[in-house]
Structure 1
Amino acid sequence: MREYYAARAPIYDEVYRRPERQADLDELRRRVAEWFADRSVLEVACGTGYWTQFIAPVASRMTATDAVAEPLAFARLRPGVQRVSFVQADAYALPQSLGSFDAAFAGLWISHVPVERRREFLSGLHARLAPGARVVLLDNTEAQCERLPISERDAAGNTYQMRPLPDGTTHRVLKNFPSEGELRSMIDGIGTAAQYWRGAHFWALRYAAAA
């Protein structure tokens, strides 16, 4: 999947330009600005920095990470990110050197985490957070499947799409679409005060990391 996102980096923002997604995106940009105001924020899998540019101006401090160098290069060019510390880091092995934060954000990432690794990812993320830190996960609804249908399902329940790129290559990409119930079960015992929002094309889960 790293090769896919490295190759896709120059055209990644096209997913945010689709007319049918604008109402959801307008609402989420407003919510994100409220959720992270005056917070020290750790962003995981920031990609090309689409959400980084909206969080950075309101955050007191922000570090944005991604495992792939090519998207990070685009993220650094976003407006309003001059104070952001960009770090190439594996989402499953966030280094202690990043420091501690009172908020975390992952946009369009949890859908790429295998079902069997979700708690592993969250455990590593929470290790970089202060007790009670605000966590926001944001991702696509199943509406995305109208354009990119599910092509495969494995024994663990993970689903996959075949995604073409302009260079003519096609990539098999893990893409899950967890329900609200699955998300609440995922944070059971490690997150509290969960609030779920769902639009036509995106959903968001906000919760507090357990102490």
Structure 2
Amino acid sequence: MSNSDPIAQASTEQHMPRYYAQRASEYERVFDRPHRQANIATLQAWLRAQFSGRRVLEVATGTGFWLPAATAEAQSWQCTDINPEVLAEAKAKPLDFERVKFQLADAYALDLVAPKAPSPFDAGFAGLWFSHVPVSRQAAWLQQFHQQLQAGARVVLMDNRYVEGDSSPIFRIDSEGNGYQMRELSNGSQHEVLKNFPSEARMRDLLGAQVSEFEWTELDYFWTLSYRLR
């Protein structure tokens, strides 16, 4: 099914922060699925190694499921999210709050580092966020994220793979190529969520000559990408 109405896309985007705010207390149930535990353990160890000794800016922290592992050896970690509800869940995690800080911020309007000011961040992370960025905004989002980081910074993106019979079905695709899932919260409310599943080729096209050390990996239920900014 296709829907070309840009107003419908905008409405879904505007609704999604409220959906995740309402889902905050039940979000992490998705990580309880037994068949995903091996992948999750692999990712937790990998994230810990990726950010060892680094000063990290994280976009769309959400409830902070990955934080205990990812921050374990980091020098510092700045969490950001647009929703105070999800950050409240993240702050309840067992973390070193001398190193891990929290700030409300819009992922599409990051302003932690002023234009032309030196960045304190030598690494960036976005976990399970990029799949919610519309196709038309992906390049611009990456650019403004990179602008918050130092030259040569390590960037890690991580997200879901689409697995038939396990992932929520895509019930419609708009004219831009964005997919949409229909999700239900425990209170029975239904919510349309934009959800894309980019390929390695798509990410290479988006990043091009901006990056080096491009490393794409596919696990059973997740993909990871790490690269260095030039």
Q: TM-score range by the shorter chain?
A: over 0.9
- Kept in 2, the 8 Å contact 1:52–1:81? The answer is no
Q: Deviations over 1:30-55 (max 9, x none)?
A: 11111000000001000001112222
Any runs of at least 4 consecutive aligned residues in structure 1 with deviations exceeding 4 A, and if so which? Answer: none
Which AA in structure 1 matches 2:65?
Y
Q: In the aligned structure 2, how far is the partner of 1:62 from the partner of 1:147?
A: 30
Query: Cα gap change, 1:119/1:145 in structure 2, threshold over 3 Å: closer, same or farther?
Result: farther
Q: By how many angstroms is 1:97 displaced?
A: 4.5
Contact 2:156 2:225 in 1 (8 A): yes
SS in 2 for 1:129: coil
CA distance in 1, matches of 2:224, 2:164: 15
Q: Determine the C-alpha separation between the residues in 2 that align with 1:144 and 1:84.
A: 37
Q: Match for residue 92 of structure 1?
A: 108
1:6 aligns to what? 21
The answer for the alignment partner of 1:191 in structure 2 is: 211
Match of 1:171 among 176, 180, 191: 191
Cross-structure match for 1:70: 85
Between the aligned residues of both structures, percent identity stands at: 44
Which ranges in structure 1 are unaligned for 5 or more consecutive residues?
none
What's the CA shift for 1:147?
4.0
Q: Does 1:129 align with 2:137?
A: no
1:139 to 146, 159, 163: 159
Conservation of the 8 A alpha-carbon contact between 1:52 and 1:64: no
Partners of 1:157 and 1:166 in 2: CA distance: 29
Identify which range, 16-25 or 136-145, moves more after superposition.
136-145
SS at match of 2:53: coil
Using the size of structure 2 for normalisation, the TM-score is: 0.88
In 1: Cα distance, 2:225 partner to 2:164 partner: 18
How does 1:21-40 map onto structure 2 within 5 Å? 21-40=36-55
Residue 182 in structure 1 maps to residue 163 in structure 2: no
CA contact (8 A) 2:76 2:100 kept: yes
The 1:115/1:145 distance shift into structure 2, 3 A limit, reads farther
Query: 3-state DSSP class of the match of 1:146?
Result: coil
> Size of the alignment, in residue pairs?
210
C-alpha distance in structure 2 between counterparts of 1:195 and 1:113, whole Å: 21
Number of the residue aligned with 1:154: 174
Alignment of 1:42 with 2:57, yes or no, is yes
Query: Which residue number corresponds to residue 200 of structure 1?
Result: 220
Instruction: Identify the range of structure 1 (14-23 vs 185-194) with the bigger mean alpha-carbon deviation.
Output: 185-194
- Larger Rg, first or second structure (1 or 2): 2
Q: 1:145 to 1:109 in 2, by over 3 A?
A: farther
Say what the alpha-carbon RMSD is for the aligned residues: 1.4
Change (3 A) 1:188 1:112: same
After superposition, give the CA deviation of every residue in 1:9-50 in whole Å (9 maximum; x if it has no partner).
001111111111111111111111110000000010000011
**Any conservation in 1 of the 2:215–2:225 contact (CA below 8 Å)?**
yes
Provide structure 2 residue ranges, at least 5 long, that are not aligned to the other structure.
1-15
Q: TM-score, normalised by structure 1?
A: 0.95
Q: Which string of whole-angstrom CA distances, capped at 9 and with x for unpartnered residues, describes residues 50-85 of structure 1? A: 112222221101100011111001101111241311
Structure 2 CA distance for aligned equivalents of residues 56 and 126 of structure 1 = 20
Is residue 117 of structure 1 aligned with residue 132 of structure 2?
Answer: no
